[in-house]
Amino acid sequence: MQFKLNYLFLAVALLLSVNISAQKTKRQKLEARRVQLQKDQIYINALLSNTKRKEKNLLVELKDLDGKINTRQELISIITKESNELGNEIYLNQLEINKNKRNLEALKKDYGDMIFKSYKSKSQNSRIMFLLSSDNFFQAYKRFQYMKQYTSFRKRQGEEIIEKTKELEILTDSLEVKKKQKQVLLEEKKKEQFVIEKEKKEQENLLTQIKKKENKYKRQIKQFQREESRIDAQIEKLIRDAIVASNKASGSTKTTTSSSSATFALTPEAKELASKFELNKGKLDWPVEKGYVSMYYGNQPHPIVKTATIKSNGVRITTSSGSKARAVFNGTVLAVQVMSGNKKMVYIQHGNYISIYKNLATVFVNKGDKVTTKQEIGTIFTDKVTGKTILGFVLSKNTTTENPASWIYRM
């Protein structure tokens, strides 16, 4: 029965230990994300405050504010989750403390009973008399060994009590630290909620102003979308033509111009590069040293004018003036294309994958150049009216676009 109880206590202790460890790991990930969001928030605020606009553009202003609010809302969400995880850790720690207290009390009781019995034994019979009353030498030796073991056991039990007491003190200190950490998080959350309320009021005021000119802004959005669609068509045509030319040169029969079936006939070297590229899915470097995603991939309602829909075949990354675009992986420059307004676009081939860098003011590479990961390929254009420096980034497998957020590390 005693063995079963001991086994049960051990199982519970192990379960608590595993739970505490798992909770800690999860909270550490949340903490890392919170710290990163706080850094992002500081960067976005600094970037937006340094942006000088020649004209007041309510749509741009509101989009900036919307981005700040979204980042702050995610931060509040992470703080809430981290606080909850900390609460779970506190609860599990308290259970562990309660268990240790019970164990310590039981240990102290056993030790007290043993000392009392030892004292009674000493008062009734001395150790020497206990040995001398032996029937023979063998019995005296056995009694001597028993006395040694008993003394050693008492010493070990005393040491165990000291050890358990220290463990309890450490756990109690840890519990106090966690409680303070949770209080700090709750205060931080309260501060963020206060700021977001102010930003939302500012957002409502801007929305009221925009509503008065909604039709005008809808026309601007449609015009922007038409321009994006035109560029997307150019990108697809260039890649499709490159596939046809490449396959013809290699003697491949894959010369179809159908956008859905056009694929590169890869050399062994290109296959190896494509394979390495695929192995790095979710781990590719950002195409800028520092920045934040101001527009994500896919069909989505406009962040401000909700009745308007926008289609994005890539992402838009807002960065600081003078920033350089960087290659996300090793590859070869497939093309450098000049767009309207003398802005440039660079295509880098990674086997049958193409990374495309739009809205460059100057480029440092030429068609056919070999590039390496993080190599600077051009300076990103800064709009003189809005003051914004935005890189358009598209990722394509043959002629089919991919979501960059699935490929770029923590995008």
The count of C-alpha atoms lying within 13 angstroms of the C-alpha of 234, restricted to the half-sphere facing its C-beta, is 18
**Backbone conformation region of residue 343, classed left if phi is above 0, alpha if psi is from -120 to 50, else beta:** beta
pLDDT of residue 309: 77
Q: Counting Cβ atoms within 10 Å, is residue 327 exposed (0-12), middle (13-18) or buried (19+)?
A: buried
Report whether pLDDT(394) > 90.
yes
Domain boundaries, given as residue ranges, for the chain: 2-211, 265-406
Q: Which helix (H) or strand (E) holds 108?
A: helix 58-124
Report whether pLDDT(26) > 90.
no
Which residue in 159, 166, 167, 157 sits closest to 110, CA to CA?
A: 157
* pTM tops 0.75: no
Give residue 121's pLDDT band: very low, low, confident or very high (50, 70, 90). Answer: low
Out of 66-75, 123-132, 249-258, 399-408, the most confident range is 399-408
Query: Quick one: CATH architecture of 265-406?
Result: Distorted Sandwich (2.70)
What average pLDDT does this structure show over 315-334? 96
What average pLDDT does this structure show over 157-183? 79
Higher per-residue pLDDT: 209 or 374: 374
What is the three-class DSSP state of 282? coil
Percent helix, strand and coil across the chain, each to the nearest 5: 60, 15, 20
Out of 73-87, 243-257, 299-313, 335-349, the most confident range is 335-349
Give residue 320's pLDDT band: very low, low, confident or very high (50, 70, 90). Answer: very high
What average pLDDT does this structure show over 115-143? 59
pLDDT of residue 361: 97
Question: H helices within 212-325, ranges in order?
Answer: 214-249, 268-279
pLDDT of residue 306: 67
Report whether pLDDT(257) > 50.
no
Q: In one letter, which amino acid is 97?
A: I
Query: 287: how many CB neighbours lie within 10 A of its CB?
Result: 28
pLDDT of residue 35: 83
Interacting residues of 18 by C-beta distance below 8 A, sequence separation 6+? none
Reading the block at residue 278, the tokens are 């695929």
pLDDT of residue 100: 73
DSSP state letters, 123-181: HHS-HHHHHHT-SSHHHHHHHHHHHHHHHHHHHHHHHHHHHHHHHHHHHHHHHHHHHHH
Cα 16 to Cα 99: distance, rounded to the nearest angstrom = 10
Higher per-residue pLDDT: 313 or 260: 313
Give residue 330's pLDDT band: very low, low, confident or very high (50, 70, 90). Answer: very high
Report whether pLDDT(272) > 90.
yes
Give residue 98's pLDDT band: very low, low, confident or very high (50, 70, 90). Answer: confident
Give residue 352's pLDDT band: very low, low, confident or very high (50, 70, 90). Answer: very high
Give residue 1's pLDDT band: very low, low, confident or very high (50, 70, 90). Answer: very low
For the four alpha carbons of 9, 12, 14 and 20, in that order, the dihedral sign comes to negative
What is the three-class DSSP state of 308? coil
What average pLDDT does this structure show over 109-138? 60
Higher per-residue pLDDT: 218 or 73: 73
List Cα–Cα distances, 403 to 313, 316, 398, in angstroms: 8, 12, 14
pLDDT of residue 149: 67
Higher per-residue pLDDT: 371 or 103: 371
What average pLDDT does this structure show over 182-194? 90
Beta carbons of 63 and 304 less than 8 angstroms apart: yes
Beta carbons of 314 and 356 less than 8 angstroms apart: yes
pLDDT of residue 314: 96
Q: What angle do CA 38, 41, 47 make, to 5 degrees?
A: 145
pLDDT of residue 128: 57
Report whether pLDDT(115) > 80.
no
